[in-house]
């Protein structure tokens, strides 16, 4: 197929100020407001017509309308239908929804909102690659910590420069793995197009390698010898959250810290050996900052989220980085072998040192036989285990026990079980009186994507490949409805016969903002009906249409983009990592599904 050509496109850049800021033009305060005459307006508007109190014309006939409930941009000549009407609201674009005055400045606009706030909204032209570069720069400067990417809290809302430098993340392996995909594909594409020695390629390899090392460190940082993976780790001076089991290392023993969770489970004070050596190349991520092994507190109770993304990382890191970095490749192989051995020795369950399974990392028939979650999880978890084994064979170049186990699982019905997802998922949702989209654990979308993407691009047996593609498509209902290229492109790589709407994919790239400020927006809109889901509670509502990314709450892989959230007055004070965009963009470039206009 020929790649879809992405063009430069306008994107929003927001600068928040107080009205006494010297940069604010005096003319903004001298404007005379006149309510617009909107009779016969040809499109639905985000605010009620009676709520609009002012308007002004900018460049090229663009009209800005200010309302008590937000700001609307109207471009009758917009090339793309989604750009004709744009909406801006608190807390992403304004401090307050009530627009008091507007002053266009070329393509841009000054907006007086609330009692004393001003937003300067610039509409700047960027390529999709430039947009991704800006997002990466923000994440690497403010969100990344020791190579890991999740999110970062700030001390002041909307001021990323006040980032704390630490965060409480439950899934560092999951989100850092997602970030690695974008970094690895970026390196591979730039190497292919610019050559290994180009400065951009060198920079890309640096960050892909750093993220890979951070992933690998999670498989060693606990100091346990049985192939365990830590969910996350903290160093001295970083507060521990109360929602998990953390083990503080000291010498050759790690002791379970006191948290609400560990008190509930009676594990406070539990001691676990931690004498297994951490490779120097990985330990430098914290030792070079002045920390020692005794400064480490790692998080246990690892789930299949982390395990799945670690195997995704093993495969892509080996393929893309391994040949040029034999030392790294040996660490990838060692970690992969140890993790797979741990799972096999645990009879297809991920075990704590006590021998008990973690809460959400079970791939055994014993778990599948359990009513409720075991029954519903079985199709995906069965496929995950098969994927782990295929990746292990691919990365290590070995068969032995890996192939014996894989073949035994196929004979035991694991591949066929993977095709039952939709039926079991539907039954499970109906059993609790919910519709499938509201009962879905949205993080499972990413697990299914990683699992079947790897299976469909590694499996050589035609019959099994057909089974895996069939299984992959049982997830298409929830994966493709989000119009998320990060889901769609890997699915297309695994199932080349699916059809994608590339115009809608392009809108997703064009309308993605250049910051990952985690802010809720105004969804009480006059142009988008809200539908109540089966549960019937006030929180169980969805938008009836998928809004553009810059008009909904911050995009994440594990969130429902249709969810109707009632925004509070609280100002969000954290920033997410850039991976939803960079994963999608560079996967598309890597597979040749998209290209930039003028790209050779």
- Render 479-543 in DSSP notation, one character per residue: HHTTT-HHHHHHHHHH-TT----HHHHHHHHHT--S--B--------SSS-EEE-TT-STT-EEE
Q: How crowded is the C-beta side of 593, counted as CA atoms within 13 Å?
A: 24
Residue 134 · residue 103 · CB < 8 Å: no
Residue 353 · residue 385 · CB < 8 Å: no
Q: How crowded is the C-beta side of 143, counted as CA atoms within 13 Å?
A: 26
Name residues whose C-beta falls within 8 Å of residue 127's C-beta, 6 or more positions apart in sequence: 6, 7, 8, 596, 597
Work out whether strand 117-126 and strand 246-250 pair parallel, antiparallel, or are unpaired: unpaired
Residue 361 · residue 339 · CB < 8 Å: no
- Which one, of 145, 99, 336, lies nearest residue 227 by Cα? 336
Q: How crowded is the C-beta side of 377, counted as CA atoms within 13 Å?
A: 26
DSSP string, 30-63: G--------TT-SS--SS-GGGEEEEEE-GGG-E
Question: Cα separation of 376 and 370, whole Å?
Answer: 9
Per-residue pLDDT of the chain (600 residues), as tens digits, is 899 999 999 999 999 999 999 999 999 999 999 999 999 999 999 999 999 999 999 999 999 999 999 999 999 999 999 999 999 999 899 999 999 999 999 999 999 999 899 999 999 999 999 999 999 999 999 999 999 999 998 888 888 999 988 887 778 999 999 999 999 999 999 999 999 999 999 999 999 999 999 999 999 999 999 899 999 999 999 999 888 999 999 999 999 999 999 999 999 999 999 999 999 999 999 999 999 999 999 999 999 999 999 999 999 999 999 999 999 999 999 999 999 999 999 999 999 999 999 999 999 999 999 988 999 999 999 999 999 999 999 999 999 999 999 999 999 999 999 999 999 988 888 887 777 777 788 889 999 999 999 999 999 999 999 999 999 999 998 899 999 999 999 999 999 999 999 999 999 999 999 999 988 888 889 999 988 776 655 457 888 899 999 999 877 888 888 888 766 555 567 899 999 999 999 999 999 999 999 876
Residue 307 · residue 229 · CB < 8 Å: yes
Q: pTM score, two decimals?
A: 0.96
DSSP for residue 135: H
DSSP for residue 555: P
Q: How crowded is the C-beta side of 324, counted as CA atoms within 13 Å?
A: 15
Question: Cα separation of 215 and 203, whole Å?
Answer: 19
| pLDDT given at position 61 | 96
Question: Cα separation of 207 and 194, whole Å?
Answer: 17
Point out which residues pair with 253 in neighbouring strands.
Answer: 250, 273
Question: Cα separation of 298 and 257, whole Å?
Answer: 10
| pLDDT given at position 532 | 79
What are the boundaries of each domain within the chain? 4-134, 145-155+157-165+183-197+304-596
For the chain, the straight-line distance linking the first and the last C-alpha, in angstroms and rounded, comes to 17
């Amino acid at each position: 197929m020929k790649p879809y050509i992405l063009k430069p496109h306008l994107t929003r850049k927001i600068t928040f100020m107080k009205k006494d800021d010297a940069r604010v033009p005096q003319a903004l305060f001298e404007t005379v407001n006149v309510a617009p005459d909107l009779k016969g307006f040809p499109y639905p508007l985000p605010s009620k017509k009676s709520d609009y109190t002012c308007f002004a014309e900018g460049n090229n006939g663009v009209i800005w309308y200010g309302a008590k409930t937000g700001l609307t941009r109207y471009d009758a000549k917009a090339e793309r239908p989604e750009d004709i009407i744009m909406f801006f609201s608190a807390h992403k674009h304004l401090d307050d929804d009530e627009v008091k005055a507007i002053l266009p400045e070329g393509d841009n606009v000054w907006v007086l909102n609330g009692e004393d706030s001003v937003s300067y909204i610039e509409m700047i032209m960027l390529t999709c690659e430039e947009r991704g570069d800006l997002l990466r720069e923000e994440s690497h400067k403010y969100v990344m910590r020791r190579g890991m990417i999740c999110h970062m809290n700030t001390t002041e809302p909307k001021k990323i420069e006040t980032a704390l430098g630490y965060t409480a993340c439950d899934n560092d392996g999951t989100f850092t793995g997602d970030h690695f995909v974008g970094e690895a594909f970026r390196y591979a594409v730039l190497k292919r197009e610019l050559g290994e020695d180009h400065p951009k390629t060198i920079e890309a390899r640096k960050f892909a390698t750093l993220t890979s090392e951070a992933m690998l460190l999670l498989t060693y940082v606990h100091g346990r010898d049985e192939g365990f993976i830590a969910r996350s780790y903290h160093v001295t001076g970083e507060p521990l959250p109360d929602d998990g089991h953390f083990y503080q290392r000291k010498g050759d023993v790690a002791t379970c810290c006191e948290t609400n969770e560990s008190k509930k489970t009676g594990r406070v004070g539990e001691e676990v050996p931690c004498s297994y050596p951490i490779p120097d190349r990985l330990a430098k991520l914290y030792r070079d900052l002045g920390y020692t092994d005794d400064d480490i507190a790692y998080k246990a109770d690892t789930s299949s989220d982390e395990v799945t993304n670690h195997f995704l990382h093993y495969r892509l890191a080996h393929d893309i980085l391994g040949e040029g970095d034999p030392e790294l490749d040996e660490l990838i192989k060692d970690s992969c072998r140890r993790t797979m051995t741990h799972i096999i020795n645990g009879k297809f369950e991920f075990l704590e040192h006590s021998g008990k399974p973690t809460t959400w990392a079970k791939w055994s028939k014993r778990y599948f036989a359990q009513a409720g979650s075991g029954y519903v999880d079985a199709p995906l978890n069965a496929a995950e285990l098969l994927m782990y084994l295929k990746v292990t064979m691919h990365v290590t170049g070995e068969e032995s026990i890996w192939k014996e186990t894989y073949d035994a699982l196929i004979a035991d019905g694991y591949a066929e079980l993977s095709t039952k997802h939709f039926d079991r998922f539907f039954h499970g949702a109906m059993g609790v009186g919910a519709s499938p989209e509201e009962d879905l654990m949205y993080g499972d979308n990413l697990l299914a994507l990683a699992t079947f993407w790897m299976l469909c691009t590694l499996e050589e047996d035609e019959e099994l490949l057909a089974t895996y593609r069939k299984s992959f498509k049982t997830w298409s209902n929830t994966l493709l409805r989000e119009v998320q290229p990060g889901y769609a492109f890997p699915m297309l790589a695994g199932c080349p016969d699916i059809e994608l709407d590339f115009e809608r994919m392009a809108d997703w790239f064009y309308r993605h903002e250049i910051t990952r400020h985690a802010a809720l927006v105004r969804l009480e809109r006059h142009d988008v009906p809200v539908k109540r889901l089966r549960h019937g509670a006030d929180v169980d509502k969805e938008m009836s249409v998928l809004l553009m990314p810059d008009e909904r709450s911050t995009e994440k892989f594990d969130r429902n983009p249709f969810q109707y959230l009632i925004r509070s007055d609280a100002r969000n004070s954290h920033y997410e990592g850039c991976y939803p965009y960079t994963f999608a963009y560079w996967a598309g470039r890597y597979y040749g599904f998209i290209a930039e206009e003028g790209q050779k």
